Chain A
Amino acid sequence: MDFKQDGFMIIVGLCVIAVILGQSIHFLVKAYKQGKKIGIETSTMKSTIISSALFSITPALAIVATILALAPSLGIILPWIRLSVIGNLMQETSAATAAVEALGHGGLTSEITDHTEFTAVAWVMALASMMPLVVLPFVLKRLQSGMKKVTGKSDTKLVDSLSAAAFIGLISTFIARAIIGQDTGKVVDGVVKSNNDGAGVMSVATLVSAVIFMLVLSKIAEKFKLRWLENFAMPISMFAALGVAIILTQVLPESISSLEWRPLTACIGGMMR
């Protein structure tokens, strides 16, 4: 049997997710009890749980897709472990690619069969992502009290606006990528391959539908005082927008649905330089 996905690897994976689930459940119970103590309504906490669960489904499926992208070379278990603990959708692919290249092994498309190479990749992926865990226990408390001192002196309206601004800055990078971003592409075995993240008809259509669904649902919830709809407007809008993406791909001619503003082929020269 393939050593990359044998019983031993599965047991390692299960141990890792047991730790992650252990911490999550422990924190969930603690926060829930504290919520009751400070008088947050049980219904509010319950709907937070349900809406967060629904919210997480599609992003989790996108993470599953990343696991799959790494599976041909690394098997399915190691990418699964890496994306369950600290892993990040955007980072793991580049960490694995760098490790594989450093070993002089072409790229991520060919299977790794050598035990030493596989172990080296596992080390690089783990070490590359460990920094926040090393730093966090030392700095978080100090950082929080430092920030409190600064914000404590300021006007609350400014503090609220600044925290909104920080988040809007984050969202705007993803929005801008969906509007005008170019396929980031990757060089695999000397050939430039699409990363499927260029902006075009479909990314704009999905973005605009999500915005419209969200605005309409929030308006309906507000007008008819539907508290449940208010709680679920966000996950529902996300699913609905993804539904639009699926339907448009089915009904539009492929030349339109696959249209990207700045396709990868037009820029290969620029990328390779």
Chain B
Amino acid sequence: MKKERTYNDKMHTLGRIWDIIVLVTLLLVPAVIGIRLNVYPSASVIFKGLMKVAPLFWVAGVVEIIAYTPLLGTGGMYLSFTTGNISNLKLPCALNAMETAKVKPGSDEGEVITTIAIATSSIVTTLILAIFVLPLRSLLPVISASDSVFAPALRHVLPALFGALGASYFVKHWKISILPISVMCLILIFAGTMTAGNLIIVGVIVSILGCLAFYKLKWL
């Protein structure tokens, strides 16, 4: 008798199919633009531009896959990587959803809740972007002008997001939190312009090593 496929297996199959559809769509965009404009940029120019950013982006992409796998679940992983903006939107959103629904990453319930959270988040984000780019296009410069009333809010989305999200984690896991925050501040004192994107990898490694050490010392 054929073994029944689990929900997880089905999500892997679906995820792969959508992954390929999105990958093809992604590459079709520049292709159709080129065909429409009847221009074919030389491979060497594209390669030159690509080499400036691709090595960093490609390595970061692979590291992100490893870092997020235990947290986001199968459906959540495929969906996050096709829709993007993970560390600043999809991941915090999924973690907040698991926290309030009181489910754990990696459990069957966690899998369902993360997928629901990330799918909702990507629908809302996609719609907001489309609404602002198409019908509200004329409003855009007014809202984002550096002297608009909303400018300070748009500039400080990240501190507000991570402050609110971090608060409950820091209270619950204050012992684990002290080390990575101090180390990150120290690094920034000497290398102030390091972007969060580059710092994340160091932050996660420091935090995990610290947690392991505390566990061995029975401080947790």
For this complex, into which size category does the number of interface residues on chain A fall?
Answer: 35 or more
**A and B contact pairs by CB, cutoff 8 A, 19 listed:** A19-B22, A27-B14, A31-B116, A48-B117, A52-B118, A60-B125, A61-B132, A78-B33, A119-B33, A130-B23, A130-B26, A161-B176, A161-B215, A175-B184, A184-B193, A209-B160, A209-B163, A234-B100, A245-B152
Q: How many residues of B contact A (CB 8 A)?
A: 153
| Count of chain A to chain B residue pairs whose CB atoms are closer than 8 Å in the complex | 542
- Does A144 sit within 8 A of B, measured CB to CB? yes
On whether the beta carbons of A165 and B117 are closer than 8 Å, the reply is no
- What string of 1s and 0s marks CB contacts (under 8 Å) between A80-111 and chain B? 11011111111100110011111100000000
- A-B contact sample (8 more), CB < 8 A, given A123-B41, A177-B196: A21-B123, A59-B161, A86-B83, A144-B74, A148-B106, A165-B208, A175-B159, A181-B194
The binding surface of chain A is classed by DSSP as helix
On whether the beta carbons of A64 and B129 are closer than 8 Å, the reply is yes
On whether the beta carbons of A123 and B89 are closer than 8 Å, the reply is no
Please name all residues of chain A whose beta carbon is closer than 8 Å to the beta carbon of B32 when the two chains form the complex: 12
Please name all residues of chain B whose beta carbon is closer than 8 Å to the beta carbon of A147 when the two chains form the complex: 69-70
Question: CB < 8 Å: which of A15, A40, A53, A127 contacts B121?
Answer: A53
On whether the beta carbons of A68 and B140 are closer than 8 Å, the reply is yes
> What is the distance, in angstroms, from B88's C-beta to the closest C-beta of chain A?
6
> What is the distance, in angstroms, from B211's C-beta to the closest C-beta of chain A?
4
A64–B116 alpha-carbon span in the complex (Å) = 23
A123–B26 alpha-carbon span in the complex (Å) = 10
A10–B117 alpha-carbon span in the complex (Å) = 28
- Does A224 sit within 8 A of B, measured CB to CB? no
Q: Give the interface centre of A53, A173, A237 by most chain B CB atoms within 10 Å.
A: A173
A168–B128 alpha-carbon span in the complex (Å) = 29
In the complex where A62-B154, A126-B26, A182-B193 touch, is A133 in contact with B82 (Cβ < 8 A)?
A: yes
In the complex where A24-B126, A168-B173, A173-B196 touch, is A101 in contact with B52 (Cβ < 8 A)?
A: yes
A34–B73 alpha-carbon span in the complex (Å) = 14
Please name all residues of chain A whose beta carbon is closer than 8 Å to the beta carbon of B120 when the two chains form the complex: 24, 28, 48-49, 52-53, 56
